[in-house]
Amino acid sequence: MSAPEATDYAVSSEFYDLLQAEGDRRRAERWFAAAAGRARHGIVDFGAGTGIVTRVLLESSGAPVHAVEPAAAMRTVLMSRAAALGADRRIRLTVHPGRAEDAGLEAVADLAVAANVVGCLEPAARRALWRAAARALRPGGVLLFDPPPAGLPDGVEELPGLGPVRMGADSYRAEVTRVPDRGVLRMVYEYRVERAGRPVRSAREEFPIWPAEPAALVAEAAGAGLEPVAAPHPELLAVGRPRG
């Protein structure tokens, strides 16, 4: 879910779980739980973020799980979540600090997932992800991922906000905007904390998203040796390592 810089998500990591964890958890269960339940050798969670998807994978499968997360701010929350796991799940979890291509995973998994990741990678890093997935998967293994937008909007778009969520005396929320910018889609998050209707503080962070047509993504993955396979959910694409 992250680009490789250690400072990425330094703002959003504070608010992420409070505002997005429940929605992300439900989506991960829809997208990945059934496939995780069929995994026997291992699962890789590329761009694990704060570990929301990772936990769903651990709960849905008895297989080892590798969580790959380059952003230190997100990984800090992931490690806190891992510390709260029961020993039977924690012993199956290995956290890899760094990019997908630096994790050194070779034929360890029959399932890999990349939730809210592919669009966050510029094209060269995206191609590196396909290569890393091809190495990490066993023959017949599958990578599931959600594609980014296929193109850019005509102008600035206001998306549904996050929250508000009440914690103690404070109310937390975020305004989300999509801004097309020279071929890249910039996601802008404006976080606001209020107490008794008055502003306490605000913070802002933005992330680039690289649009790509689904067919182009499948073609890129094919260049790394991954072939298209049927996806288990209409919001996902799936590619796999050939059995032969």
| Residue 7 pLDDT level (bands cut at 50, 70, 90) | low
Q: Cα dist. 172→93, 158, 160, 162, 189 in Å?
A: 31, 18, 15, 9, 13
* Strand residue runs (E) in 8-156: 43-46, 65-68, 93-96, 109-114, 137-145
137-145/157-167 β-pairing:
unpaired
For 64-72, what is the mean pLDDT?
97
Full DSSP string of 194-227: EETTEEEEEEEEEEEE----HHHHHHHHHHTT-E
For the stretch 80-133, pLDDT in tens is 999 999 999 999 999 999 999 999 999 999 999 999 999 999 999 999 999 999
Q: What is the mean pLDDT of the chain?
A: 96
Q: Show me where the domains of the chain are located.
A: 12-148+212-240, 157-209
For the stretch 27-64, pLDDT in tens is 999 999 999 999 999 999 999 999 999 999 999 999 99
Answer whether CATH 3.40.50.150 is correct for domain 12-148+212-240. yes
Is the pLDDT score of 211 beyond 90? yes
198-209/237-240 β-pairing:
unpaired
